[in-house]
A and B are shown apart, each in its own frame.
Chain A
Amino acid sequence: MLVHLQGSWSPALGRLCMKQLAFLHVPILEYTFAVVALLGLAAVGAVTYFGKWKYLWREWLTTVDHKRIGIMYIIIGLVMLLRGFADAVMIRLQQDMAIGPHSPGYMGAVHGYLTPFHIGQIFSAHGMIMIVFAATPLLVGLMNIIVPIQIGARDMAYPYLNALGLWLTGGGAALVMLSLFIGNFAHGGWYGFLPYFELPYSPGVGVDYWMWAFQLSAIGTSLGSINLIATIVKMRAPGMTWMRLPIFTWASLSTNLIALTSFPVLMVALALVGMDRYLGTHFYTAGMGGNLMLYNDLFWIWGHPEVYFLILPAFGIMSEIIPTFSEKTLFGYATMVIASFAIGGVSWGVWLHHFFTMAAAPSVNSFYSITTMLVGIPTGVKIFNWIFTMYRGRVRFELPMMWALLALSLLIVGGMTGMMNAFASNDYMWHNGIFVVAHFHMMVLVIASSIFGAVEYWFPKLFGFKLEQKWGKWFFWFMVLGTGFVFVPMFILGLAGMTRRLDYIPYTAWGPYLHLEMVGIGLYGAALLFFLAHLYVSLRDRESRRVGADAWGTGRSVEWMTHSPVPSYNFALIPHINARDEWAWRKDNGLTELHPGDYEPIHMPKNTGVPLVLGAFFFTLAFGLTWRIWWLTALSTAAIVIMIIVRSFDTDTDMTIPPNEVERTEKRRSDRASDFIATGVPPYAGGPVGTATAYQRLPEPAGGTGASSGGRL
């Protein structure tokens, strides 16, 4: 059944041998490995030195708390974002160096410093990591944290499944990182080319790493989407009707419906690649009745919904931040909901625009051109809704709002260039060109900006203190500058006809633009340092920035109705929802007491280490498959099946927090809050807020702006 492999293979180690330990003999990787090994040792050492292993295991690795799982998702996302950024720097540096026939070559490259095989791996890893292991975990993490609190639930519908999704994603990320040092990674682009990715043309393990890491993440994300949809449909607090659902939760529902329906198609697309590579089938082969277009279609049937899977939560974040900092209710709530679902729906009918030039009839191209342009309608509705939300509002330019506005501006640039790409005729000129690359980087920067905005916005909710503003603003402005310097020249080069994924630039006339892009990368690098300073200063001075429940003073939705940081059970008593912007409504009516008294026992799931161990076995399974170590594959599969069955016999999975413990926790929060009352900040909203807020001002006299404190238009 199994295909015959060229090259060495042993039963014990599969295809693994000393030669494959790339970090021992590739110069760049030697340094990278040294740095990573040192960082890893430092982390292990620090945990040991401070005696935190037990804490780490009990409070984090085995947790089923949706907030902690979300935080770990975000940590994975940020680490992988850094890795993806490092890849971007390497690509830009190569294109900055390898211009024209007289450009020098270093480290075995004819021009620049990277061989074509190496840069191929880097741009494949960059794309895949940024989409699958940076943006996706960051957004899934945010949804994980915020959605249950926003709907007044204590946890997700399936806390255990939630942890499993996290560790599957973690296993996939670990596999990608491992490919850096052991063996190699796919070198033909993040979305794969068939039949180029077939065994005869890509005989190494790179494609296998790519495929299995992708597969693990796809399974994890599908499980996560089941969980979030069930949570939103089934776990809403009493009184929270559909039309009272916070807008971020609506966006999450739409986005997870996309994930639920599209990720299985990706699994099939990749599984068929796997069967071709492992079993010698002929789904995508060049001969023997294979059809390479089948792969393109299957992949992009997932691929395009996937990008809306990423952008919709970003829109949801903007829809939360902008009303809070405009002190008004969201303009056009119902149209916003309809637009989210319209985008989700139309995402299923546009995939062919990824390959307009690949032999589709003009009628087919026209159809997909038009559906692609249709996306602009609901997106336009959203843009106008945000603008009208700010119109006559009391806009405060704090960091979350700045990020949201940056996302809005980038969305306009990305959206307009997207319309240009929607014309199939245009695509015949710039297919595979960097105009397209610049366009979709605008869109992913919309996502990135929203994520940074969301981190600023919800950080105090999770950790009880605000991030500082000074370094954060440096970070923000350097990100703006970097984006301009990298992507404006890229748009120009795209119109000049430059194609993507070049390891050598034949036209010296493009040089100045590429050097400008390198300047932009430098600005991004500075932004990264400012980000670290931002985090460090915020952590150092956290005591001076403690906040109460309503961290920004003008929060509107349910998550601001519980303590910051949120206790493990979210709400001592489940809130009863009376209005769309429940918290704004309560503040309007003076109903801000968060200590309702006489607490009740709370039923919560128990921590369990099973998801972590399952994730580890899925990782070894994928590793065994990649290197074709069959005993490891069989062992891991058996372990997974046995663990799932044994776990199903475990009846001791829940616990009850007694009322006196709930009361103690709640009291402790209010005691700490009273420290701040002593500092003179007037208490309200269940606890004081560090900074004065516009909400506390009295309504403006008649004839004023009309945007009164409660956010009524």
Chain B
Amino acid sequence: MSAHSTAVDPKSASLWARHYPGHDVIGTRTFGFWLYMLTDAMVYAALFASLVVLSHASNMVGGPAPSEFINPRVAYEETIALFASVLTYGLAMVSLKKGSRRGVTGWILLSALLGLVYLGLSVADNVNLFQHGITPQTNGFLSAFFAIIIYHAVHIVVGVAWMLVMLLQIAKEGFSQNVVYRLINLRLFWHFQAVIWVFVFVFVYLQGVVL
């Protein structure tokens, strides 16, 4: 068990890391952000599990069957808006690689606008449902249904706000270390919302049509 005493020759061992360059700040920040997204993925996992548990006929008392009000067409339009936004954000990252401040700013602005389009569609759809008396307070199924959709929309709000803050920071600082790691993390965040949206589209909207 004395692996430790044979591994390195003590006569030539280096004991102190002189001129140690330190740790890669951007890599560490991005790694931490991946970990944060894992926590958020767990939140979604719990919410989707709740939706499955609350998807039986007994959970839909006092409200319409999902197939009567779920409109995958609206969700499809939202998908287009969100995925276009992710694409333009990806193009912003291409500009970042080239160091083009104008490119980054322009593409992020477009991403934020597309995010707002998504939000507009989502709000209009949900307000429409509310006006028809289909609310989270109706029954267990609808509680879970709206919880997922609204939780996802809150992320989009945060993402758009984050983009606006980044536009200010780019204008103020240029591509400093802080700005670059935040742009990379925002890319992770924004792509992650699109991935989650795939699940929302499949398990909330498409699944809802056949329930």
Q: Chain A: residues with CB nearer than 8 A to chain B?
A: 157-158, 222, 225-227, 229-230, 233-235, 237-239, 244, 260-265, 267-269, 272, 275-276, 279-283, 285, 287-291, 293-294, 297-298, 301, 329, 331, 333, 573-576, 578-582, 584-586, 588-589, 591, 596, 598, 600, 603, 645, 648-649, 651, 710, 712-713
Q: Which of B33-41, B81-89, B95-103, B105-113 contacts A (4 or more CB under 8 A)?
A: B33-41
A580 to B5, alpha carbons, bound, how many Å? 9
Known contacts A579-B7, A713-B1; is-contact A226 B36 (Cβ 8 Å): yes
Closest beta carbon of chain B to A361's beta carbon, Å: 16
- Between A and B, 13 residue pairs with Cβ closer than 8 Å are A238-B17, A280-B137, A281-B137, A282-B138, A283-B50, A283-B144, A290-B54, A298-B50, A329-B4, A578-B14, A588-B5, A600-B18, A651-B178
Check A298–B143 contact: CB distance below 8 A. no
| A288 pairs with B61, CB closer than 8 A | yes
- Closest A-B pairs by Cβ, 7 of them: A289-B140, A579-B4, A589-B10, A289-B139, A281-B143, A289-B59, A264-B42
Q: Report if A585-B4 is in contact (Cβ < 8 Å); known contacts: A226-B39, A281-B136, A283-B144.
A: yes
B27 contacts the other chain (CB 8 A): yes
* CB of A586, distance to nearest CB on chain B (Å): 7
Of all chain B residues, the one with the shortest Cβ separation from A330 is: B1
Complex contacts, A225 vs chain B, CB 8 Å:
35
Whether the Cβ atoms of A268 and B18 lie closer than 8 Å is no
User: Does B4 lie within 8 Å of A581, measured CB to CB?
Assistant: yes
Number of A-B contacts (CB under 8 A): 188
Smallest Cβ distance from A579 to chain B, in angstroms?
3
With both chains docked as a complex, state the minimum distance between the C-beta of A512 and any C-beta of chain B, in angstroms. Answer: 46
CB-defined contacts of A580 to chain B, threshold 8 Å: 3-4
- The answer to whether B178 and A578 touch across the interface, beta carbons within 8 angstroms, is no
Q: State A452–B147 Cα separation when bound (angstroms).
A: 43
Cα–Cα, bound, A713→B2 (Å)? 7
Give the residue among B36, B50, B139, B169 with the most A Cβ atoms within 10 A: B50
Contact of A294 among B14, B17, B39, B54 (CB under 8 A): B54
Please determine whether A237 and B17 come into contact, CB atoms closer than 8 angstroms. Answer: yes
Interface of chain B, main secondary structure: helix
Which of B2, B28, B46, B59 meets A269, CB within 8 Å?
Answer: B46
Residues in B whose Cβ lies below 8 Å from that of A283: 50, 54, 140, 143-144, 147
Centre residue among B1, B60, B144 by max chain A CB count within 10 A = B1
Does B8 sit within 8 A of A, measured CB to CB?
A: yes
Q: Is the CB of A265 within 8 A of B46?
A: yes
B139 touches A710 (CB 8 A): no
In the complex the two chains form, what is the Cα distance from A589 to B20 in whole Å? Answer: 24
B15–A157 touching, CB < 8 Å = no
A360 to chain B, nearest CB (A): 14
Q: B165 to chain A: which residues have CB within 8 Å?
A: 645, 648
Give Cα distance in the complex from A158 to B35, angstroms: 13
Indicate if B210 sits at the interface (CB-CB under 8 A).
Answer: no
Asked whether, in the complex, the Cβ of A234 is within 8 Å of the Cβ of B31, the reply is yes
- Give the chain A neighbours of B19 by CB distance below 8 A: 600
Q: Which residues of B contact A588 (CB under 8 A)?
A: 5, 10
Residues of B near A298 (CB, < 8 A) are 46, 49-50
Q: Is B141 an interface position by the 8 A CB rule?
A: yes
